[in-house]
C-alpha cells in the first residue's frame, strides 16, 4: 500500500484518537464512559498503524506523527492511579504505623543517633557547663536563656493569637524543612542523615543541659514536653527514611545499586508522608499549646505525658489486626 492511500484510509481513525488524547491530557478533561471503554482497543490499533508505518518505511514525518500519538496515548492509558484521598485515612490509621514497625531497624538506629549524643551532651554540660559553647554560639545561648527565663514570660501567658499564628508558620516552615533535609541527605550513603540526627541531638542536649544549669528547668521542660512527642519522633522517622536510602546504596544485596535505591525510596517516601503529618500536628501543639503559660506545670506535664503515650501507642499498636491475625503490612 502506498503511503498516501494508507493515510487517506486511516487518518480519520487517528484523528479521533488525537482528539481523545488531548481531552485526556487536560486536568479536567471529560470523556464519556463508553469512549473510555474503547480507548484501549483503539490505542492498540494506533500502535499497529505505527508499527506498520515503520515497517513499510513510510516517510519519517508520518512515523514520527504516529509515534508521538503512541507516546501520548501510552501515557494516558498506563498512567498510574492516584487515589490519594481514599488512601489517606487508611494510611494514617494503619499503613503508616505498620510501615514504621516494619522498618523499625532504621527507626531504632535513628532514635539512638538522636538521643544518645543528646543525653551525653546533657550530662556533659551538667558536669562542665562551658561545654555548651562547643555546639552553639554564645549569642544563641543567651537568646535561649532569655526565652526561657521565668522572669520574662514573653513565651506565653499573654501571648496574642496572631503571634501564635506567626509562630505556627515559623515552626511549619522550619521544622518540616529540617526533617526534609534530614531525610534527603541520607542518600549520601546515610552520612547526611547521621549528621543531622547527631547534630540536632547535641543541640537539644546542650540547650537542655544549659537551661538546667541555669535552673530554668520548669519553663523549658513544660514548653517542650507537649510537642516534643510528635516533633522528635517525626525527626527520628525522617532520619530513619534517610538511613534506609543510604543503606540501600551501601548494601544493595542481589540488586543493582540503582534498583535497590529505587525500591528503598518507594518505602522511604511513605515514611516521609507520615513525618509531614506528624510535624504539622507538632507545629500546631507548639504554637497554640506549648506557648500557653496560664496552665499549671503539672497540667502541662500531664498532657505532655499523654501525648507521648499517644504517639508511642499509635506507632506500636495502631494497624495491628485483631484476633492475632497478621496484618498485611
Partner 1 sequence: MLLDTRQSLETPEGALLPLTPAGFGVRVLAQLLDILIRYGIVTVIFIALSLLGRMGTGIALILAFLLEWFYPVFFEVTRQGRTPGKKWMGIRVVNDDGTPITFGPSLLRNLLRFVDFLPMLYLTGIVASLCNRQFKRLGDLAAGSMVIYEAPPAREPSFEVRGQLPVPADFSTDEQRALLAFAERSKYLSAERRSELATILLPVIGSKDPVIAIKQMANTMVGKQ
Q: Which residues bind partner 1 (CB under 8 A)?
A: 2-5, 7-8, 25, 27, 43-44, 47, 50-51, 57-62, 64-65, 67-68, 70-71, 74-75, 78-80, 82, 84, 160-170, 172-173, 176-177, 180-181, 183-185, 187-188, 192, 245, 258, 261-262, 265-266, 268-270, 272
Nearest to partner 1 of 57, 323 (CB atom): 57
Task: With H, G, I as helix, E, B as strand and everything else as coil, classify residue 321.
Answer: coil
Least distance between partner 1 and beta carbon 289 (Å): 16
Nearest to partner 1 of 7, 145 (CB atom): 7
- Region of 204 (left: φ > 0; alpha: ψ -120 to 50; beta: rest) is alpha
Least distance between partner 1 and beta carbon 69 (Å): 9
Least distance between partner 1 and beta carbon 182 (Å): 10
Task: Give the residue among 139, 154, 156 at the shortest CA–CA distance from 290.
Answer: 156
**Residue 118 φ/ψ, nearest 5 degrees:** -60, -45
Q: Which long-range contacts (CB under 8 A, 24 or more apart) does 75-83 make?
A: 76/21, 76/24, 76/25, 76/39, 77/39, 77/40, 77/43
Task: Give the residue among 276, 273, 253, 278 at the shortest CA–CA distance from 263.
Answer: 253
CA distances from 175 to 127, 169, 228, 257, 284 (A): 30, 10, 12, 31, 12
Least distance between partner 1 and beta carbon 188 (Å): 6
Least distance between partner 1 and beta carbon 290 (Å): 16
Nearest to partner 1 of 2, 323 (CB atom): 2
- DSSP 8-state code for residue 130: G
d(CA 128, CA 198): 20
Least distance between partner 1 and beta carbon 139 (Å): 22
Nearest to partner 1 of 11, 299 (CB atom): 11
Nearest to partner 1 of 49, 223 (CB atom): 49
Nearest to partner 1 of 143, 174 (CB atom): 174
Nearest to partner 1 of 75, 213 (CB atom): 75
**Residue 207 φ/ψ, nearest 5 degrees:** -65, -45
Task: Give the residue among 203, 199, 275, 200 at the shortest CA–CA distance from 237.
Answer: 275
Least distance between partner 1 and beta carbon 227 (Å): 16
Task: With H, G, I as helix, E, B as strand and everything else as coil, classify residue 33.
Answer: helix
Least distance between partner 1 and beta carbon 37 (Å): 18
In sign, the C-alpha dihedral spanning 242, 247, 250, 253 is negative
Nearest to partner 1 of 4, 33 (CB atom): 4
Contacts of 205 (CB under 8 A, 6+ apart): 117, 118, 119, 120, 121, 122, 124, 125
d(CA 281, CA 95): 18
Nearest to partner 1 of 14, 148 (CB atom): 14
Least distance between partner 1 and beta carbon 272 (Å): 7
Amino acid at each position: 500500500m502506498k503511503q498516501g492511500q494508507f493515510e487517506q484510509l486511516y487518518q480519520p481513525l487517528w484523528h479521533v484518537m488525537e482528539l481523545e488524547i488531548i481531552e485526556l491530557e487536560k486536568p479536567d478533561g471529560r470523556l464519556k464512559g463508553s469512549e473510555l471503554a474503547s480507548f484501549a482497543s483503539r490505542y492498540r490499533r494506533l500502535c499497529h498503524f505505527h508499527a506498520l508505518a515503520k515497517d513499510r518505511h513510510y516517510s519519517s514525518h508520518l512515523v514520527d506523527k504516529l509515534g508521538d500519538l503512541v507516546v501520548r496515548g501510552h501515557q494516558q492509558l498506563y498512567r498510574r492511579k492516584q487515589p490519594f484521598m481514599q488512601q489517606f485515612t487508611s494510611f494514617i490509621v494503619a499503613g503508616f504505623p505498620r510501615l514504621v514497625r516494619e522498618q523499625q531497624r532504621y527507626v531504632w538506629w535513628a532514635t539512638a543517633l538522636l538521643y544518645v549524643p543528646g543525653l551525653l551532651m546533657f550530662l556533659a554540660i551538667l558536669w562542665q557547663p562551658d561545654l555548651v559553647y562547643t555546639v552553639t554560639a554564645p549569642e544563641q545561648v543567651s537568646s535561649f536563656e532569655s526565652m526561657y527565663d521565668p522572669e520574662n514570660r514573653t513565651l506565653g501567658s499573654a501571648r496574642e493569637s496572631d503571634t501564635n499564628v506567626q509562630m505556627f508558620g515559623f515552626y511549619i516552615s522550619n521544622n518540616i524543612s529540617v526533617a526534609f533535609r534530614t531525610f534527603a541527605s541520607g542518600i549520601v550513603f546515610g552520612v547526611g542523615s547521621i549528621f543531622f540526627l547527631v547534630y540536632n541531638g547535641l543541640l537539644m542536649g546542650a540547650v537542655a543541659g544549659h537551661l538546667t544549669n541555669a535552673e530554668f528547668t520548669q519553663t523549658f521542660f513544660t514548653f517542650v514536653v507537649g510537642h516534643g512527642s510528635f516533633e522528635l519522633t517525626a525527626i527520628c522517622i525522617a532520619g530513619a527514611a534517610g538511613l534506609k536510602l543510604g543503606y540501600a546504596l551501601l548494601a544493595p544485596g542481589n540488586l543493582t545499586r540503582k534498583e535497590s535505591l529505587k525500591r528503598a525510596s518507594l518505602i522511604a517516601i511513605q515514611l516521609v508522608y507520615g513525618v509531614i503529618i506528624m510535624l504539622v500536628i507538632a507545629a500546631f501543639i507548639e504554637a497554640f499549646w506549648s506557648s500557653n503559660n496560664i496552665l499549671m506545670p503539672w497540667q502541662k506535664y500531664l498532657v505532655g505525658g499523654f501525648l507521648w503515650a499517644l504517639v508511642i501507642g499509635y506507632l506500636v499498636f495502631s494497624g495491628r489486626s485483631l484476633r492475632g491475625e497478621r496484618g498485611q503490612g
